[in-house]
Structure 1
Amino acid sequence: MKPFDYADEKIGQKEIGFALPSLVIGVSILSLPRVVADTTKFADGWVSVLIAGLLSLLFTWITATLVSRFPNQSFLDYSSKLISKPLALSLTLFMILYFVLFTAFEINYIAILTKQYLLDETPKEIISFVFLLLVIYAVAGSRAALFRLNILFLPIVVIVLLILLIGALSVFDPKHLFPLFKTNWMGYLKGVKGSFLAMTGWEILLIYSALIRPPVKAVKPAIIGMCVPIILYLLLYIVTIGVYSNIVTRNLVFPTVELAKEVEIPGGIFERAETLFFTVWIMTIFSTASIFYDVSVMTISSIFKKTKKAIIIFILAPIIYVISMLPKSFIEVTNFGHFISFMAYFAAFIIPALLLLIAKIRRIREDKEGMA
């Protein structure tokens, strides 16, 4: 059967507004309450999550503002105009490595969690391989369809998460939230660091800049889209602390999963609410892994312009699979995630900020043609 080709492969405002929160609500949602509770006292972590959210909005604005100045240009093209071609190529290779490693991390993580909670007798290698095949199938198709898939998934994800949070209120104890503001400033900063890295995802705008139409109008939907995970993370943290308290939360490996176990859905539709949560969570990981795989392909295509998309996809597939299988234990996977988080500082924070600063110094303004 011949695949359907979209007449318009451009990314509109709606696609941007749905894609960013779909990326952010990923593996970090499982451990975020523990990471923040580990550095703060009582429910003070909400301050760290809020500050991290505001910072993420700032860097989303920085990135969207940067790409709006270079409509219909790849990351390699417009970075070459701002810095030398060799430096631009080096940054592009770094972004490829970052996206490939991130995709491998997502595939490894979902295999570990699926084996632990859903398919305990299935080898992790098989789970990873099957999931990677699904991601390849999604990336090999229309890029517009991949983004429109987020429009379908995100409302389902948000609704299910809200249902779980509301259901957990039955065992919510407000006493666990008090007293307030007992954390020192260093604890708040560490909480901001952990929360901030959990909200990355806007760096895909650097690569998709060539497809955004019109790029000058990408700022507003990007900001609005990022508000969704920030609000959800705030609610998730407060509800988790209210149910388990700070001391218990910091000792749970995956507090969000444990929270889902506390929920009883009326009518007996699901005897185990965490099964519903995992189903929805797998949807978000699928969206995240697919888009990061796709930006890896798109970034490589900007260097090797004559190479077909399908060839790049199938060259990357075994590389990603082998990398995803390197960490064996959960501790190794966690360390792998810390390494990727270190790379995220450059990909999501330093690179967009420096390029925008250089663009402002050189007075490169928005291309008026991009507004049409």
Structure 2
Amino acid sequence: MKSFEYGDKEISNLDMTITVSSMIIGVGILLLPRELAKAVQGSDGWMSMIAAGSLALGVAWLLAKISTHFSTQGYYAYASAAVTKPIAFIAVLSLSLYFISFCAYEVRAIANIAKQYLFETTPVEIIAFSFLMINVYAVSGSRVGLIRLNILFLPIVLFITACVLFFSLDMVEIKELKPFFTTDWKSLASSMKTTAFSLLGFEVILFYITMMNRPKEAPKAVVIGVFIPVILYTCIYMVCIGVFSQLALQEITYPAVELAKEMTIPGEFFERFESIFFTIWIMAVFTTTMMAYDCTIYALSSLFTKPKHRTWVFGLSPFIYLLCMYPKNLSDFDKMSSMISYFGLVVSIFLPILIHIVAKFRGVKSDVS
């Protein structure tokens, strides 16, 4: 008898594409339109989106191509053979610190936003703790089950976002998109950095490559997975500019949520669509957080093989909570975001590329035949 297709422990190319998109689409899009409006003139942010998106696509393809070389043995074993075990240990441990920081950032971000829009009288500590406990429950299960959740949630997130964009089009003022091509190259370069950081997340391929049934096709799957958020982010930014204008957009903390508040559905079927939008967006942040949590466990499990999976799940949760509560205000939170982004750039992109170069020179055994 043929086994149930989704009952196995392998993932397909489509699964990987959806996983990468789900990892990228998170809190970043709620903040990105404001940051771009501050950095560029008019609607020139689309240029930085396309440029940063193209760069992210290239880096994601390269990282996925490198990952195919250790699709069976795993990142730690491959790095150990290339640069010795002590250095590989530091590289993978640093990667686990990046993912646990990523997880804490998402938890704190959703707590801040939920307090502003949904639970005004609830302490942010309680919201963060509740959200973290949901992630603890999710990560306690099977790893492949998390991938299946992405397949379930992402289409809903994309559909609701498309509805917000579609019903907001009648409020777009074309004059607000002008002037065009007036931003100097230094400002565009600065906005590219912000945009590129919001597209981080494709690094999950370093671990989830070992679950793919056709790892050689991982580069294509990852590139498509990055392409979806690039298009989505660009559309949201352009609509936000057209509705709010560049000057007003600079003062709005969460433009995407405010866009959902401004839009109207014919017949007034929904009066507070932003509540639906935000609730659905929590699903997107949830999938990002749980995968960052899971990748942390994946990395640490490759270094320390004795502790069981659930030991890591429950043991790491207090550290995540304390880390997410560390920022005292919005300024500290923004600094935390920048630090995590720079750290992730080094440990999840530059180090794997450097390790692969060393492996090539040393003739390390590759899983690619």
TM-score relative to the length of structure 1: 0.94
Question: Residue 190 of structure 1 corresponds to which residue in structure 2?
Answer: 190
User: SS at the partner of 2:26?
Assistant: coil
**What's the C-alpha RMSD, in Å, of the aligned pairs?**
1.7
Q: CA deviation at 1:212?
A: 2.4
Instruction: Render the CA deviation track for 1:276-310: whole Å, top value 9, x for unaligned.
Output: 11011100110001001001111111011122101
Q: CA deviation at 1:366?
A: 5.5
Question: Residue 75 of structure 1 corresponds to which residue in structure 2?
Answer: 75
Further displaced range: 328-337 or 45-54? 328-337
- Alignment gaps of 5+ in structure 2: 1-5
The yes-or-no answer on 1:61 pairing with 2:61 is: yes
Question: Residue 12 of structure 2 corresponds to which residue in structure 1?
Answer: 12
Report matched runs for 1:170-319 at 5 Å: 170-319=170-319
Q: What one-letter code is carried by the residue in structure 1 that aligns with 2:75?
A: F
Report matched runs for 1:3-42 at 5 Å: 7-42=7-42
**Matches of 2:348 and 2:241, distance apart in 1:** 29
Q: What one-letter code is carried by the residue in structure 2 that aligns with 1:101?
A: S
Instruction: Render the CA deviation track for 1:125-161: whole Å, top value 9, x for unaligned.
Output: 1111111111011111111111011011111111111
Q: CA deviation at 1:361?
A: 3.9
Further displaced range: 38-47 or 80-89? 80-89
Q: CA deviation at 1:328?
A: 2.5
Contact 2:95 2:344 (C-alpha < 8 Å) held by counterparts = no
1:122–1:299: structure 2 CA closer, same or farther, 3 Å change rule? same
- Alignment gaps of 5+ in structure 1: 1-5
Further displaced range: 110-119 or 122-131? 122-131
Question: Residue 3 of structure 2 corresponds to which residue in structure 1?
Answer: none
Contact 1:62 1:352 (C-alpha < 8 Å) held by counterparts = no
Contact 1:260 1:274 (C-alpha < 8 Å) held by counterparts = yes
**Matches of 1:192 and 1:178, distance apart in 2:** 20
**Matches of 2:183 and 2:360, distance apart in 1:** 39
**Matches of 2:317 and 2:56, distance apart in 1:** 31
1:348–1:92: structure 2 CA closer, same or farther, 3 Å change rule? closer
**Matches of 1:359 and 1:179, distance apart in 2:** 49
Question: Residue 324 of structure 2 corresponds to which residue in structure 1?
Answer: 324
User: SS at the partner of 1:203?
Assistant: helix
Q: Percent identity?
A: 39
Question: Residue 153 of structure 1 corresponds to which residue in structure 2?
Answer: 153
Question: Residue 344 of structure 1 corresponds to which residue in structure 2?
Answer: 344
TM-score relative to the length of structure 2: 0.95
User: SS at the partner of 1:209?
Assistant: helix
Contact 1:82 1:359 (C-alpha < 8 Å) held by counterparts = yes
Q: CA deviation at 1:170?
A: 1.3
**Matches of 1:359 and 1:76, distance apart in 2:** 13
Corresponding residue pairs, total: 365
Instruction: Render the CA deviation track for 1:90-115: whole Å, top value 9, x for unaligned.
Output: 11111111111111111111111111
**Matches of 2:203 and 2:66, distance apart in 1:** 11
Instruction: Render the CA deviation track for 1:3-47: whole Å, top value 9, x for unaligned.
Output: xxx752223212111011111111110111111121111011100
Q: CA deviation at 1:255?
A: 1.5
**Matches of 1:94 and 1:253, distance apart in 2:** 31
Instruction: Render the CA deviation track for 1:41-72: whole Å, top value 9, x for unaligned.
Output: 10111000000000110111011001111122
The yes-or-no answer on 1:86 pairing with 2:67 is: no
**Matches of 1:110 and 1:306, distance apart in 2:** 33
